[in-house]
A and B are shown apart, each in its own frame.
Chain A
Amino acid sequence: MTDARKPSSFLTSSVSRRSALKGLGATAALTAAPGFVRYAQTQSSAPIRIGFQAHRTGIGASYGRWYERTTAAAVKAINAAGGINGRPVEIVTEDDGTDPARGAEVVEKFASQHKVDLVYGTLFSHVVTGSAPAAGELKIPYYVVSEGYHVASGKLNRWVIQPGITDVRAQCRSVAPWISQNVGKKITMIYPDYAFGHDHRDFFAPAAAEQGAEVIAQIAIPPTETSFTRYFPQIPAGTDVIYHVMVGPAVLTFVKELGEFYGGRGPKLFGFIDSLEAVDMKSPGLDFLEGSHFWEGMPRYLQADASEAERAYRDAVGLDENGAAANDPRDVSTNAHMFGCWETLYIIKRSMEAAGYRGIEDRQKLIEATEAITELEEGVEHPQGPKRFDGKIHQVFGVQNISVVENGKLNVVHKTAIEDGLYEPEADYTTQSF
């Protein structure tokens, strides 16, 4: 080619001062147009999006189903009352499969794809432990409803908060006095061999010792175990009480086999209702439980002295007086735990209002507003009971229920006080950076 290429027209042209001024003027006029004003209003009216990390599949599916129903009921109630800061709440649900690796992926997906305001709802402690680092890295608030001590331990990060359900350490400290005084002093523990079970293992023995009782054996069982008889010979002959807490698809087998092994004799039982969450107390093979005791976060069966707030909560979620779905008596709930979803969502509401939350740039303010909470009164927002929140350890404290099995139903025989569960904090998240 012999033609010399001319410089591009862009380089040869010049923008005159006059046309530049015209452009600036047009831009200013456009900014003042009604569309922009409406857009700005639209932005502040946009839904608050909460990423709900649900165990829809895997070994925690029963809890996941009921956590989801409780969440839907709470959101419905909040939106009916005007939402949060005048904005409706929208739930975006992802299934973590009750798997720690998928849990971390789900948190990342919430942050980068769904771009939610915060993540919420996880129960199983190994999933929380697997997911929390992702929340810290992505700087997204992570409100868990887990029960594990790992939040209060200070080992996670400042973005993780547990404001709606008590932790195992507090639960152990609360029930130890009653067990020691009413059931027996030589205790054998049976627990699942993972983070949640380890909390029971580590915190109940010292609490029992303070009451003059003694844990004489601790039996760990893999969380996915399906056959339990082989473990029972490890229970020492001198046991007064078997303290049991179990999770997984085979909880019913665990309790049934315990009954087959001991029959009507053998040690007394004190269980956490986790061993029978979502399981009908009238299932065949459970007759031997008559007279034994269970811890319940919230009573499964509607008690005669239940508060109006508790009754309203049960109606909203769709529970009958036996703690099963109103439209399916075989669909037993996880009522001892799922109240935590309802209460956590109201904490989120309260925190966002206190922080004047507008968008993801205010996430840090949201955490700080939650950390500032102290007392929570029993009522519509907190139907399980009054609570005390410790912002330094990101953990709430509340009352616990102890129930006895009578005629195949659970009746509350003791309610602990908040003070019973308090312990010396081992951490202070507020000194950590965001």
Chain B
Amino acid sequence: MGFGPLLLLASLEGLVTAATLALMALGLSLVFGVMRVVNVAHGEFFMLGAVVAWAVSTAFAGHPAIGFTAALLVAPLVVGAVAFLAERLVLKRLNYDPEATIVATIGLLYIVQQLALTFYGADARPVQPPFNPRIQLPWFGYSGYKLGVIAAAGVLLAGVWFVLARTRAGLVMRATQYDAETAQAFGIPVGRVYAGVFALGAMLAAVAAVLVVPVSQAHYLMGRDPLLLSFVVVIIGGLGSLRGTVVAALLIGLSDGIISTLFFSPTLAKILATLLVALVLVFRPQGLFGTAAR
């Protein structure tokens, strides 16, 4: 296969990775940006989204698009509700202390993972895509559904941007992110904002999971790699920066796709991503688009 077609395939694969990674990392970045909480259980909310998607989609007979649409609506709500409860029951009681919440979300990680193992089982189970026309290019065929994932992620990212930048809810979140105490002085219910943000972050992870689960399968251990990659993206992009997160996700996703395919080594792709994290932490700790601490 020539270099051009190879690069095309690499870019397509990279874009699929970047699309789901952007949504996933955005949830993590949002939670850290507003709450200053590092949510180590974020990967398990992703996994939970996939598991719920399987449960919902298999409950519907008939055309797979029906089950998938239902899953796309229900999974984020279920996962968001779980996250909301977790925030109210755990994080709030710890007063959002940075060190304590890391330990708490690690505990949350194991609880969610083991509950999924207990009730869902240890098998990988498929979810049918709503559509999957095979697109034949001159050199290779490609999944039409994967292209749909890229488009859907783009729409969702635009939606999140609109909410954050153009709505009152977004204004409230940004104000809380900027200065929680002053926001509280202005009557913003900071506690409820935190709960909402934590739930929203989890919902983004769940949406990413629903989009990706027809490509891979729902498996109780599937949350780990997305979590690690999300941390990479958030660190490079700048904690709390939406724009940085999206750019970093594109950078990491495309480089993963391109390096994995061109150099036939997924391990090399991960090595370079980790090296990039190290460089960012050393030379530009606020990330590409983050602002330096005052």
Contact = CB atoms under 8 A, between A and B. Distances in A.
A249 B221 contact: yes
Given A230-B257, A249-B222, A261 B264 contact: no
A105 interface: no
Contacts of A263: 134, 136, 141
Nearest to A279: B126
A278 interface: yes
Contacts of B73: none
B184 interface: no
B264 A61 contact: no
A262 interface: yes
B219 interface: yes
A222 B126 CA distance: 20
B141 A226 contact: no
Counting chain B CB atoms within 10 Å of each CB, the highest count among A56, A227, A229, A252 belongs to: A229
A252 B217 contact: yes
Chain B: interface size category: 35 or more
Interface stretch (B5-13, B83-91, B175-183, B189-197): B5-13
A286 to B, nearest CB: 11
Interface string A271-304: 0000000100001110000000000000000000
A434 interface: no
B107 interface: no
Contacts, number: 83
Interface of A: 56-59, 61-62, 64-65, 222, 225-227, 229-234, 237, 249-253, 257, 260-263, 278, 283-285
Contacts of A237: 1
A229 B222 CA distance: 18
Contacts of A283: 126
Q: Which of A65, A225, A230, A231 has the most CB of B within 10 A?
A: A230
Contacts of A278: 123
A394 B215 CA distance: 42
B113 to A, nearest CB: 10
A262 B122 contact: no
A262 to B, nearest CB: 7
Contact of A56 (B10, B64, B122, B225): B122
B135 to A, nearest CB: 9
Given A226-B216, A284-B128, A61 B261 contact: no
B142 interface: yes
Nearest 3 CB-CB pairs, A to B? Answer: A61-B122, A249-B124, A249-B219
